[in-house]
Amino acid sequence: MKKWERTLLHTSRGGFEVFFKGQGDPLCVTHHYSEFNETGDYFAETFTRTNQVFLINLREAGHSEKANESYQLSMLETIFDLEAVRDALGFRTWGFAGHSTGGMLGVLYGIQAPESLEFTVIVGAAAREYMTFSEDCIYNPAHNDFERMQELIEALKQPDLSLDKRKELSIERTTLSLHMPEDYPELFNLRIHKGMSTPRMNFFIRELQVFDVTRKLGFISVPSLIMCGRYDVQCPLKYSIEMAEGIPDSRLVIFERSNHYPFLEEAGRFHDEYESFLERKK
């Protein structure tokens, strides 16, 4: 598989590490606390057949700008950073696709700067805190796998973790969010590996407690494709339904044989739905 090309982009808000691959209209992809590298990302890879994808390491991730103040790690400040990246790349507008916390950024991006977006694709995400009132969420203490998930998250934050151990724990963490855990070797069969920005993760956990933009969903004026697995244990389906009901020009697609990774668990249908969305919005 072809690796992603890398550049360190100088913007009005500092330097950001950007990986790019594919051809077509520009599409921004990121995740709130992942650290990407030249091997890419499974979610981002999905779009390289239709778009030129820009996979962005956010502040405090990879070789991107550091945070001088903790507030610079907030979701709103992240949107300002993405706008600086877009401007430095020379695009008047681009699309945005985000999975999980990346999708949460997509929601906020659509609210804050719809004039900069052609569309948003929001997968397995939410427009508000999704743990407290959802016993079917793996981050809720009532969920059967809550304790193990917390142990894995804390272990993966350790900077001195060996590569082999990190890989072992990451695999276990991922299988907790698959509809068919035994399919992991088949689904995750590319040489893609990424890390996690501990400062970003720690700030996100605090910020999430007060995150709720549901009353502003009507401000998203661009076409939005919202997709979610029926059995998503991270951001349960009801939050995607809520977003689809609140965003005026939106389409909701539910994947009946998927948990948190429909772009892998039902890859064929995911591709078809995205390409159909692109055709309809023309």
What is the pTM (predicted TM-score) of this model?
0.95
What does the alpha-carbon distance between residue 147 and residue 160 come to, in Å, rounded to a whole number? 22
Place of tokens 């985000």: 98
Q: Report the domain count for the chain.
A: 1
151 belongs to a structural domain: no
Question: Roughly how many angstroms between the first and final C-alpha of the chain, as a whole number?
Answer: 31
29 belongs to a structural domain: yes
157 belongs to a structural domain: no
Query: Cβ–Cβ contacts within 10 Å for residue 148, how many?
Result: 14
Per-residue pLDDT of the chain in tens (282 residues, 90 and over written 9):
788 999 999 999 999 999 999 999 999 999 999 999 999 999 999 999 999 999 999 999 999 999 999 999 999 999 999 999 999 999 999 999 999 999 999 999 999 999 999 999 999 999 999 999 999 999 999 999 999 999 998 998 888 889 889 889 999 999 999 999 999 999 999 999 888 899 999 999 999 999 999 999 999 999 999 999 999 999 999 999 999 999 999 999 999 999 999 999 999 999 999 999 999 876
Domain CATH code at residue 34: 3.40.50.1820
156 belongs to a structural domain: no
Strand 14-21 and strand 5-11: the pairing is antiparallel
81 belongs to a structural domain: yes
214 within 8 A of 241, measured Cβ to Cβ:
no
Question: Which residue segment(s) compose the domain that 271 sits in?
Answer: 5-134+192-281
Closest to 131 measured CA to CA, from 33, 32, 239, 226 = 239
105 belongs to a structural domain: yes
168 belongs to a structural domain: no
